[in-house]
Amino acid sequence: MSRLLKKFWGRVRQLSGDDAYERYLQHYMAHHDLKAEGEVEAPLTKEAFFKEWQDKKWTGIKRCC
Amino acid sequence: MQIKLINKIIWVLIALIGAVAVCGIALNRGETINALWFITAALCVYAIAYRFYSAWLATKVLLVDETRATPAERLDNGRDFIPTNKWIVFGHHFAAIAGPGPLVGPTLAAQFGYLPGTLWILFGAVLGGCVQDMVTLFFSVRRNGRSLGQMARDEIGPVGGTAALIGTFAIMIILIAVLGLVVVNAMKHSPWATSTVAATIPIAMMVGFYMRHIRPGEVLEASVLGVVLLLLAVMSGGWIDHHPMLRVFFDHEGLTLAWWVIAYGFAAAIMPVWLLLAPRDYLSTFMKLGTILLLTVAIFTLHPQIKMPALTQFIDGTGPIFGGKLFPFVFITIACGAISGFHALISSGTTPKLLSNERDIRMIGYGGMLLESFVAIMALIAATVLDPGVFFAINSPAGVVGKEAAEAVSLITSWGFPVTVEQMKTLASNMGEASLFARTGGAPSLAVGMASIFGSLFGKGLLAMWYHFAIMFEAIFILTTLDAGTRVGRFMLQDMLGNIWPKMAQTSWWPSVLISSALVVAGWGYFLYIGVIDPNGGVNILWPLFGIANQMLAAIALCVATSILVKSGRLNFAWVTGLPLLWLVVVTSTAAWEKIASSDIRVGFFAAANDMAAKLAAGTLMPEKATVAPQLIFNQHLDAWLTMFFVAVLWVVVLDMLWGVLQFYLGKAVLSSSEVAYQKSCID
């Protein structure tokens, strides 16, 4: 039961974009090898990421009739 | 073997129950019919269509390939291209396609009785709307998530592409105007509704500020805060309504409110998204999903009786809400509940960039539209549980039934839908309104229907609260569409103007932002203004115009799909999109023809203009009507030309598509498919 609730809560968070930053960090870690040589950009801060995410979200047609 | 047999028996049973329910609805001639019949019919039709037709579309027509990598996988950048769980994508997709259209359209179409609307919502969706959404999504996924306009250009040619672009822009303008009109009519002389709707603006801003600066990215926290504030706003609206001083601030004529809506639209288009648009959208999504869920639960538990007859005498075209015969106007009026061209823009927008596997296309494209169709069925139920007399008293414009209450009720009663002044007065006072006569646009009657359903479930004492909750719920996502649409219109216009003067295309250059926003707002503001001063309510003109534009866009999407099917050697399956396309072309062209050429002044634009001009010249118009007559006459002419333009665009695209198909069969060179080459998926 509690596992189900947890899963449901996870879905709600994902659907609303509440965990967007966590997912971004995960994606970042998976795709950038921080220990590798050469310059690697640091991940965005939560605030900066959210700004970009929100602005991007509203550039196309997002709502219907 | 045994499981297979049981499976078969179950599906045969579902088919039988569905058939019985559909026949029951169609053949019932009793006084009332229970809403359960509608729900049963809908669920069975959806189940069968989804299980068999959509599965067949996926495997045999589209050849969905589970091993093929989607754009989300190939182009994964953690931002717009992200492989996402199918339920999450479904949620996003549904939240994007479900707007006020399926609530308003079925309500207006109920003037023909419950049957035509129900049948078209069910069968139009499973054979037309769902197919359109699904194939557009599929073709966009195969083309890196390209938009409908780009696909039209790539597959049909530059003419098709341009037509799609212009069509989208035009539909946006008409849509916003008609939605603005719906909100204005709901707020007219209602301090409670007006103050509640006004309160949603500062509430959205507070939520936006919270999300951006106080606790960045805490979307759910901020949304909960916003929803609580919205509910408080509904309650305090009642208090304002009873306050002799405060209520004056929010008690306005339609025209004043229209100017406020126009000013608001302009402000919203130039304000940063995080301050108003984004937070308003969160609130409206939560409200929308919550209220639809609540309505479903209420209808399931209460299963109210439908009081509207199956067919009314207004199928002959004399209806008070809008003029025009059953064919083609029921199809134009229902619009988004059965098939919506707008959905093709979403299906070729964000959604294809999120799909992690092609197999999800069926559930998201086809299933998402099924759910939207179900919302339309519930809106139809909420409109038809009202006494028909009450329904017509709320929705008939004063220009048709007369300004005086006694005059209106005697006319409506003479149609065979008894209603009394006393009854309307009691209803209005129960709902916390001064009057419910001539509240056109569908929102108030839907709110009365919802309030009476919720009231029977949760107690009659809160009727006024439920009514205004429903109004707030409708207004908040109408205003979200208004904000978002104005913004999109602005971007499109900037893009178009950029072709003439490149600097205009810079989306952050202030003069360009201001000029293009002002132009877009002026565009829909004009139609809103005319709609408000029109004594016939405006909805009867604007909604059909919107319906025609929306169905035109759907036809363009189906043209693109048909063209792709044929060019990829699937002519034998081209009827899947070809038949709905043919139907839409017939419906849209007939409706447009009648709107232009009909001699009935309630249908034909030119006829209405000539009639009014003659009366004006003869001096037989009432003085208040005579002052606005020149504007109304001009507007009728404009609407006629606009309709001709829509239908011309439609025919250009259809002919362009047919020409390409013909060329293909003659073995001549055609635009090659823009499908991206196969790449194997690596996700499990």
Question: Is residue B154 a contact partner of residue B143, using CB atoms and an 8 Å limit?
Answer: yes
pLDDT for A36: 56
Chain A residues close to B442, C-beta within 8 Å: none
Q: How many CB pairs under 8 A join A and B?
A: 111
pLDDT for B443: 93
A57 touches B at CB < 8 Å: yes
pLDDT for B460: 78
Minimum mean pLDDT range among B76-90, B139-153, B214-228, B526-540: B76-90
Q: Over the range B274-290, which residues count as b (16 or more CB within 10 Å of their CB) and which as e?
A: bbbbbbbbbbbbbbbee
Question: Is residue B606 a contact partner of residue B552, using CB atoms and an 8 Å limit?
Answer: no
ipTM field: 0.87
**Angle at CA of residue B76, ends B73 and B77, nearest 5°:** 175
Answer yes or no: is pLDDT of B91 > 60.
yes
Answer yes or no: is pLDDT of B673 > 60.
yes
Chain A: residue whose CA lies nearest to B348: A61
Q: Give the tens place of pLDDT for each residue, B501-560.
A: 999 988 888 999 999 999 999 999 999 999 999 988 889 999 999 999 999 999 999 999
B484 touches A at CB < 8 Å: yes
Q: Which two tokens stand for residue A63?
A: 């709502």
pLDDT for A40: 62
B278 touches A at CB < 8 Å: yes
What are the helix (H) ranges across B431-538? 443-458, 463-498, 510-533
Taking residues B281-308, what's their average pLDDT?
91
pLDDT for B664: 93
Longest distance between any two alpha carbons in chain B, whole Å: 82
pLDDT for B239: 95
Taking residues B32-50, what's their average pLDDT?
96
A61–B484 C-beta distance less than 8 A: yes
Q: Is B116 exposed, middle or buried (0-12, 13-18, 19+ CB in 10 A)?
A: buried
B274 touches A at CB < 8 Å: yes
A59 touches B at CB < 8 Å: yes
Q: How far is CA A33 from CA A21, A25, A38, A58, B76, in A?
A: 19, 12, 10, 31, 17
pLDDT for B12: 96
A4 touches B at CB < 8 Å: no
Number of Cβ within a 10 Å radius of residue B246? 15
d(CA B264, CA B283): 18
B92 touches A at CB < 8 Å: yes
Domain membership of residue B205 (yes or no) is no
Q: Before B328, cis peptide (omega within 30)? A: yes
The full DSSP string for B567-631 is HTT-GGGTHHHHHHHHHHHHHHHHHHHHHHH---TTT-HHHHHHHHHHHHHHT-S-HHHHHHHHH
Answer yes or no: is pLDDT of A26 > 80.
yes
Facing residues of B210 across strands?
none
Q: Give the tens place of pLDDT for each residue, B198-238.
A: 999 999 999 999 999 999 989 999 999 999 999 999 999 99
Which of A:16-55 have CB within 8 Å of B? Answer: 16-18, 20-21, 23-24, 27-28, 31, 46-47, 49-55
pLDDT for B168: 87
Domain membership of residue B246 (yes or no) is no
Domain membership of residue B608 (yes or no) is yes
Answer yes or no: is pLDDT of B592 > 80.
yes
pLDDT for B535: 85
d(CA A55, CA A49): 10
Chain B: residue whose CA lies nearest to A30: B78
Question: Is residue B93 a contact partner of residue B133, using CB atoms and an 8 Å limit?
Answer: no
B217–A20 C-beta distance less than 8 A: yes
Q: Give the tens place of pLDDT for each residue, A32-60.
A: 765 555 556 788 888 888 888 888 877 77
d(CA B101, CA B150): 26
B488 touches A at CB < 8 Å: yes
pLDDT for A34: 58
Task: Supply the DSSP symbol for B571.
Answer: G
Of B78, B216, B282, the CB nearest to A50: B216
Domain membership of residue B324 (yes or no) is yes
Domain membership of residue B235 (yes or no) is no
B575 touches A at CB < 8 Å: no
Chain A residues close to B219, C-beta within 8 Å: 16-18, 20
Domain membership of residue B208 (yes or no) is no
- Average model confidence (pLDDT) for chain B? 94
Taking residues B160-181, what's their average pLDDT?
90
Q: Give the tens place of pLDDT for each residue, B454-463.
A: 998 887 778 9
Q: Give the tens place of pLDDT for each residue, B61-72.
A: 999 999 999 999
d(CA B486, CA B173): 8
Predicted confidence band at B56 (pLDDT cuts at 50, 70, 90)?
very high
d(CA B668, CA B650): 25
Interface test with A, best of B176, B219, B508 (most A CBs within 10 A): B219
A17–B349 C-beta distance less than 8 A: no
Domain membership of residue B196 (yes or no) is no
Facing residues of B68 across strands?
B680
Answer yes or no: is pLDDT of B613 > 90.
yes
A14–B550 C-beta distance less than 8 A: no
How many helices (DSSP H) and strands (DSSP E) are in chain B?
30, 2
pLDDT for B190: 95
pLDDT for B447: 95
Domain of B300: which CATH number?
1.20.1740.10
B274–A46 C-beta distance less than 8 A: no
The total domain count for chain B is 1
Domain membership of residue B150 (yes or no) is yes
Residue-number span of the structural domain to which B309 is assigned: 2-189+252-665
Predicted confidence band at B576 (pLDDT cuts at 50, 70, 90)?
very high
Phi, psi of A34 (to 5 degrees): -65, -25
pLDDT for B191: 96
Facing residues of B355 across strands?
B84
Nearest to B278 by CA among A50, A48, A45, A65: A50
